[in-house]
Amino acid sequence: MIVFNDRYSRDIFASTYGSMLRIEAEKDGYKFEEMVKRELLDSSHELLLMTDSNETNEANISGYFAWTWYLLDDEGRRKNEGRPYMNGAWMNHGTIAKPDWSSHS
Choose among 68, 69, 72: nearest CA to 43.
Answer: 72
Question: pLDDT tens-digit profile of 23-64?
Answer: 999 888 889 999 899 888 888 899 999 999 999 999 999 999
Q: What is the pLDDT of residues 87-103, one digit of tens each?
A: 999 999 999 889 999 99
User: What pLDDT score does 29 carry?
Assistant: 82
Pairing of strands 2-4, 64-71: unpaired
Q: Is 32 exposed, middle or buried (0-12, 13-18, 19+ CB in 10 A)?
A: buried
DSSP annotation of 82: G
pTM exceeds 0.85, yes or no:
yes
Sorted by where each begins, the domain ranges of the chain are 2-104
